[in-house]
Amino acid sequence: MPDSHKYDVLIIGSGAAGLTAALTLAETCKVLVLAKGTLRSGSTAWAQGGIAAVLDAGDTFENHVRDTMVAGAGLNDRETVEFVIEGAPRAIDRLCELGVPFNRESGDLHLTREGGHSHRRIVHVDDATGWAVQAALLKAAEESPNITLLPDRTCVDLITGRHEVKYSGSGRVWGAYALDTATGKVEAYTAKATIMAAGGAGRVYQFSTAPRGATGDGIAMAWRAGARVSNMEMMQFHPTCLYNLDVKNFLITEAVRGEGGRLFHPETGHRFMEEYDRERMELAPRDVVARAIDDQIKRYGLDYVHLDISHEEPEFVKQHFPTIYEKLMGLGIDMTKGPIPVVPAQHYTCGGVVIDLDGRTDLPGLYAAGEVTESGLHGANRLASNSLLECFVFGEAAARDILAHWDGFEAPPPVREWDESRVTDSDEEVVIKQNWTEIRRMMWNYVGIVRTTKRLERAGNRIDLLGKEIEDYYGAFRVTTDLIELRNLHQCADLIVSSALHRHESRGLHYTLDYPETDQVAVDTVLVP
């Protein structure tokens, strides 16, 4: 193996979690960061809302903990919640040091409020926080001599003991095999430690606010390597995605409701949230609002509902939501004068690879951080703007643990090169497109916002049939990014359905008509490979 492919630490993913870890590790380690597409193509850049942190004089850590636990329907791990929330102010300080231009008011950070939060605690950069954070982290990483950034590398599988030249069943992770999309060649990248920060699995669903590459690669790779996953049935649907036949996946941030936006039936003008949560109305947690909109659409045969903030002053709306305002104006919608048509869409993967407070997975040498994980922070439903926060806290935690135990990390042994001696180039790409489309539509119809056991079983049967087809295809043809993503998409769909069938209650994001009640004791759904 070329020495150029050997590093101290390999990080899969160039978003907030991966780059935070890289910058911490680069103090003493040679770090390689692999990105599937461009270095900015992950979910971080898409985050409109902001980062939740207790910074207001009237707020407390306990308030933020309580709000997180309420949103998570008690499935959260309290120790994890406290760990992340208490680390939030320090994370914001570090981002300020990196030059993130957070909005300020009289010199202090401007704090907005979002659904589920009892106080104003969201720091933001207008309505494009993720883009600003991604830019600052990437700039710092590019300036570090110890960080190598490689875009256009699609990871296929983790390298474990069974890939060693001298076979081992230890499960120890030594890096990853990745496809160079420019050359079409799969190469082995080895390291003493590996951090999985590959994001979520939003594209398992037909309608999603997630970027094109959110195909659950990290979750699927870790599962195949032997790591447990947890709470995959907890798939968050954002209540308000723009309904437009020409523009896909444009999110209308939660902060629009936080700053006074109201939801109406588009034909009758009825403000319907009073039927579902009279106390919190539009500021109820996302699962409540998403189910309410879904119910209105299905009950009345609607294509969408209306989100309206036009009762606020036009300058206030333009100042707070410049990106959204400009985008909508380009589509002929003036949000200062009238409503925005919205529908729910898949938004966040609350379940994932099981980790501890140091970001350690079950597999020696493998850490994980961000949306790819189930850390215990989100429970049965993520509280708004806790996602970027989780990336910063756990990205640093994983890096610090690696540095603290660095002397105990062995050098990678010789591993086998990727073998493609028995495969050929595909002559039927249509199979990939057909299976991709079928999985996503089936998951939306059968495993969406409201579920039943019969629908879940139907989805499971189809997933089983597709699995054989995909494995036959994977075994016969050279890998491409589309094929790798399809394989991972299918694996994640299987994990979601299996998890949903295991949970015989309705809790948070998992709502089933067959078990509408919530059990007294909250128990994680943990799947073991």
Active site residues: 286
Q: Report H helices in 16-60.
A: 16-25
Spacing of C-alpha 230 from chain mean position: 14
Q: Please answer whether residues 344 and 293 qualify as being in contact, where contact means their C-beta atoms are separated by less than 8 angstroms.
A: yes
512 bridge partner residues: 451
Query: Rounded to whole angstroms, how far apart are CA atoms 284 and 262?
Result: 12
Q: Name the packing angle between helices 88-97 and 387-404 (round to 10°).
A: 90
Q: φ, ψ for residue 313 (rounded to 5)?
A: -60, 135
Query: Rounded to whole angstroms, how far apart are CA atoms 344 and 496?
Result: 19
Tokens of 186: 């799969």
Strand order in the sheet with 373-374: 373-374, 352-354, 229-230, 526-527
DSSP code of 110?
P
Amino acid occupying residue 321: F
- Dihedral of the alpha carbons of 335, 341, 345, 348, in degrees to the nearest 10: 20
For the four alpha carbons of 69, 393, 353 and 477, in that order, the dihedral sign comes to positive
Query: Rounded to whole angstroms, how far apart are CA atoms 40 and 28?
Result: 25
Tokens of 3: 């020495």
Which residues 6+ apart lie within 8 Å of 364 measured at CB?
A: 170, 171, 172, 173
Q: φ, ψ for residue 389 (rounded to 5)?
A: -60, -45
Tokens of 251: 């999110």
Q: Tokens 């949970």 map to which residue?
A: 503
* Total residues belonging to the chain: 529
Task: Calculate Rg over the CA atoms of the chain.
Answer: 22
Query: Rounded to whole angstroms, how far apart are CA atoms 374 and 388?
Result: 14
